Chains A and B, each alone.
Chain A
Amino acid sequence: MNKIRRINPVIRQTNLPIKSDKIDRRVNVKGCLICIILLLASTVAEGFEFSLNGFLQGNYSFNTASSSPDGGDLKWAEERIQLKLDISNEQLRLFSKTGLYYDNIDRDVGVDFREVYFDYTGISFDLRAGRQIITWGLGDLVFINDIFPKDYEAFFSGRPLEYLKLPVDALKIGLYPALLSIDIVILPFFEPNNLPNRQRFWLYDPMEGISERKELKPSKSLKNTEIAMRFYRNLAGVDVAVYFYRGFYRMPSAEPAILSGLRLFYPSLSVYGVSLQYSALKGVMSVEAGYYNSREDREGTNPFIPNSSLKFLIGYQQQLWEDFTVTLQYFGEYMEDYSEYLKTLPEGVPKMRRFTDLLSIRLTQLLMHQTLRLSYFSFWSLSDGDYLLNPEIRYSFTDSVWASFGAMVFGGGEPWSQFGSLDRNDNVYVQMRYEF
């Protein structure tokens, strides 16, 4: 058997097609509806400000390298309406962001409760309860201490960037004593990353022959409640943060099931991390590191569970001239107990490197009074030799209408490496939005 989930960093490991279904969000639909009703009811209350905004969106992505595995020409084709409802006063806020969409590929209508939460702002503490999106850390499309779920399918399909982040159903507590600020996030319901869909994406699957797969998420129990903490403050001009997480890997691991087939599961994980961001060399420097403690395989002897690892990044951003910004970033991951990994690595399975890295560059030029944006983003792995390129042009036709055109190009490396495995999934995409 295989040790596919050995390295579990960032966007890595999209090469294992685990899920073919859309993210299942039915569980909490009831809760979301109750929140919205509460939201509406509270409009009656006095002293609240009410606002309703949203957008109409068309988002289409066309294959350019080859048809999808199911024979289709499209990676994504969706019309969507989003409504943002915000009711707030100085202390309380109820917010919901709900999407209604039509998926032209699966000919499917769906509702997406993207955010539905309740906020309380006190003098030295605050609360946010409900479905929310949380982003921590300093990485540019790489995540070390941001252990919240991601939707890589969205990113690789050319959806607007905000869809890379999946919401969590959580309670977030902010504490603000004099010396530092503290965020505590309690996540009772485990949410894995969303990986590209097998019907739409060509993916490397070392166990293609085994179609019987059972996904096992951590059960909902007090013991399995995830907790994430962030301690942060500005120290002499440096934004310093320390992070802690206890929960699970959001990428599944695979092991043979007792009778037959594969069991997909999410091993226990703790992360300890730190980040620094400050002005230097006429730009902004970012440094972040995190130790991933694979709690179910501390010695690295279990071939089905990722080894512990150390991840770090160094980033630098500078504005070279008016409205032109360059961001460079180097990300690395070092696997612990590599000799154990080699010892237990089954024959015929591609060998991961002890050290893998990723170099990224982002160029952004704004033109025509910042209504035209030209951008270029690329990942390039020095260790694996594969890459992702993402050029994009976005123009705001008016204050309420914009469109962007871009491309996602993958290649290089090996058929099983992170972006190399996505080689046949190149696509060009268009996003159009009317905002109100």
Chain B
Amino acid sequence: MKRFLVPFIILFILITSVYAQDAREIMTKSQKAFLYAGEDLKVRVTMRLISSTGKVRLRELTMLRKNIGPAGGKQKYYIYFHAPADVKGMTFMVYKYPERDDDRWLFIPALNMVRRIAARDKASSFVGSDFTYEDVSGRDIDDDLHELLKEDMLNGEKCFVIKSTPRKADVDYAYRVSWISEESFLPLKVEYYDLSGRPYKLFTADEIETVKGFPTVVKRTMKNLQSGHRTEVVFTEVDYNIGLPEALFSERFLRRAPQKWIK
């Protein structure tokens, strides 16, 4: 019996670790497709924050993103707010580092003041929406343990179904299950579960367009299943590899929004 048990255990470990390896690889590819497409990106983002009673608030912004190095690595973000009126002209800059806290700066036009903001919590809400900073700029692959649960069909597309469990309790959910398209590697659906295992949030990619060869989620929704609040996001004027200069991501342009890139 022992003769069989040892190879069996070895084989089991091998198979599961191959699966785990596969899952990590899939998530790495997904991160690359979803958050690192192109060298840089320019997009106009319209967010509709919709309460359970149907009250709508709008957030409109232009987001510029530049990759510094390979996918999964450093990124710089520049955000210009168009609406609502009380934040129009406000700009926001993030230097994202995979292994440590981001650096964030905010420019308040009424005071002509640049402030560095404490950014410990990547899991906190982005501009009051149901999306978190991590949903916008990504989460480090090795912050989670990834398992390939199965393969599944979703909206006629073949998907990997992957369960990701955070290694540390640094988020407000226990784990998430992602449906990753086997073709585009974009996440088509992500279910978040709370600490008692109940469904908590639901992400859906509602519309995908290919821009300059990069499949892009141009319509997405994040719904809080417990409060009924949801946020719908629409991307327009998507463009990749436009040659954003790195100098753009600086205090100079935080104070003086570059018209060429934000219009």
List residues of A whose CB falls within 8 A of some B CB.
49, 53, 55, 88-90, 93, 119, 121, 126, 132-135, 161-162, 165, 174, 176, 181, 232, 237, 239, 277, 279, 282-284, 286, 317-319, 321-323, 325, 366, 369-371, 396, 398-400, 402, 433, 435-436
Question: Are A282's CB and B120's CB within 8 A?
Answer: yes
Q: Taking A181-B251, A232-B251, A435-B84 as contacts, is the C-beta distance between A121 and B256 under 8 angstroms? A: yes
Query: B50 CB to closest chain A CB, in angstroms?
Result: 10
Contacts of A121 in B (CB 8 A): 256, 258
Question: Are A237's CB and B103's CB within 8 A?
Answer: yes
Q: Taking A317-B118, A323-B125, A369-B229 as contacts, is the C-beta distance between A435 and B85 under 8 angstroms? A: yes
Interface residues of B, count at CB 8 A: 39
Query: B89 CB to closest chain A CB, in angstroms?
Result: 8
Contacts of B110 in A (CB 8 A): 133, 162
> Which residue in chain B gives the minimum CB-CB distance to A89?
B259
Expressed in whole angstroms, the Cα–Cα distance for A46 and B202 within the complex equals 47
A-side binding surface: helix, strand, loop or mixed?
A: strand
Contacts of A323 in B (CB 8 A): 124-125
| Residue from the set B85, B118, B258 with the largest chain A CB neighbour count within 10 Å | B118
Contacts of A181 in B (CB 8 A): 250-252
B260 within 8 A of A: yes
> Which residue in chain B gives the minimum CB-CB distance to A126?
B256
> Which residue in chain A gives the minimum CB-CB distance to B253?
A121
Query: B51 CB to closest chain A CB, in angstroms?
Result: 8
A-B contact pairs, 14 of them (CB 8 A): A90-B259, A132-B112, A134-B112, A135-B112, A181-B251, A279-B101, A282-B120, A284-B118, A317-B118, A322-B121, A322-B172, A366-B128, A369-B51, A399-B85
Q: What are the interface flags for B51-69 relative to A under an 8 Å C-beta threshold, 1 for contact and 0 otherwise?
A: 1000001100000000000
Residue from B57, B100, B117, B258 within 8 A of A399 (CB atoms): B57
Query: B169 CB to closest chain A CB, in angstroms?
Result: 13
Q: Taking A181-B251, A318-B118 as contacts, is the C-beta distance between A433 and B86 under 8 angstroms? A: yes
List residues of B whose CB falls within 8 A of some A CB.
49, 51, 57-58, 83-86, 88, 100-101, 103, 110-113, 116-121, 123-125, 127-129, 172, 229, 247, 250-252, 256, 258-260, 263
Give me 12 other A-B pairs in contact (C-beta within 8 A), A49-B263, A239-B251 excluded.
A90-B259, A90-B260, A133-B111, A135-B113, A161-B111, A165-B112, A181-B252, A319-B119, A319-B124, A325-B118, A396-B86, A400-B84
Contacts of A319 in B (CB 8 A): 118-121, 124
Contacts of A88 in B (CB 8 A): 259
Residue from A132, A135, A277, A370 within 8 A of B127 (CB atoms): A370
Expressed in whole angstroms, the Cα–Cα distance for A118 and B127 within the complex equals 31
> Which residue in chain A gives the minimum CB-CB distance to B119?
A319
Expressed in whole angstroms, the Cα–Cα distance for A165 and B109 within the complex equals 12
Question: Are A174's CB and B112's CB within 8 A?
Answer: no
Question: Are A370's CB and B121's CB within 8 A?
Answer: no
Query: B247 CB to closest chain A CB, in angstroms?
Result: 8
Contacts of B88 in A (CB 8 A): 53
Expressed in whole angstroms, the Cα–Cα distance for A322 and B173 within the complex equals 14
Residue from A279, A370, A396, A433 within 8 A of B103 (CB atoms): A279
Contacts of A49 in B (CB 8 A): 259, 263
Question: Are A370's CB and B263's CB within 8 A?
Answer: no
Q: Give the 10 A-B CB pairs with smallest separation, nearest first.
A: A370-B128, A435-B85, A399-B84, A162-B110, A135-B113, A369-B128, A322-B124, A317-B118, A283-B118, A319-B118
Question: Are B112's CB and A283's CB within 8 A?
Answer: no
Contacts of A119 in B (CB 8 A): 256
Query: B80 CB to closest chain A CB, in angstroms?
Result: 13
Query: B110 CB to closest chain A CB, in angstroms?
Result: 4
Question: Are B120's CB and A283's CB within 8 A?
Answer: yes
Contacts of A371 in B (CB 8 A): 57, 128
Contacts of B129 in A (CB 8 A): 369
> Which residue in chain B gives the minimum CB-CB distance to A160?
B110
Expressed in whole angstroms, the Cα–Cα distance for A129 and B229 within the complex equals 46
Expressed in whole angstroms, the Cα–Cα distance for A282 and B121 within the complex equals 9
Question: Are B128's CB and A282's CB within 8 A?
Answer: no
Question: Are B86's CB and A176's CB within 8 A?
Answer: no
Expressed in whole angstroms, the Cα–Cα distance for A319 and B133 within the complex equals 14
> Which residue in chain B gives the minimum CB-CB distance to A278?
B116
Contacts of B127 in A (CB 8 A): 370
Query: A231 CB to closest chain B CB, in angstroms?
Result: 12
> Which residue in chain B gives the minimum CB-CB distance to A435?
B85
Contacts of B252 in A (CB 8 A): 126, 174, 176, 181
Query: B68 CB to closest chain A CB, in angstroms?
Result: 14
Q: Taking A53-B85, A55-B85, A284-B118 as contacts, is the C-beta distance between A370 and B125 under 8 angstroms? A: yes
Expressed in whole angstroms, the Cα–Cα distance for A436 and B121 within the complex equals 32
Query: B179 CB to closest chain A CB, in angstroms?
Result: 27
Expressed in whole angstroms, the Cα–Cα distance for A277 and B114 within the complex equals 12
Contacts of B112 in A (CB 8 A): 132-135, 165
Question: Are A435's CB and B86's CB within 8 A?
Answer: yes
Residue from A90, A134, A366, A369 within 8 A of B57 (CB atoms): A369
Question: Are A318's CB and B251's CB within 8 A?
Answer: no
Expressed in whole angstroms, the Cα–Cα distance for A436 and B86 within the complex equals 8
> Which residue in chain A gives the minimum CB-CB distance to B85?
A435
Contacts of A93 in B (CB 8 A): 259
Question: Are A239's CB and B116's CB within 8 A?
Answer: yes
Question: Are B125's CB and A322's CB within 8 A?
Answer: yes
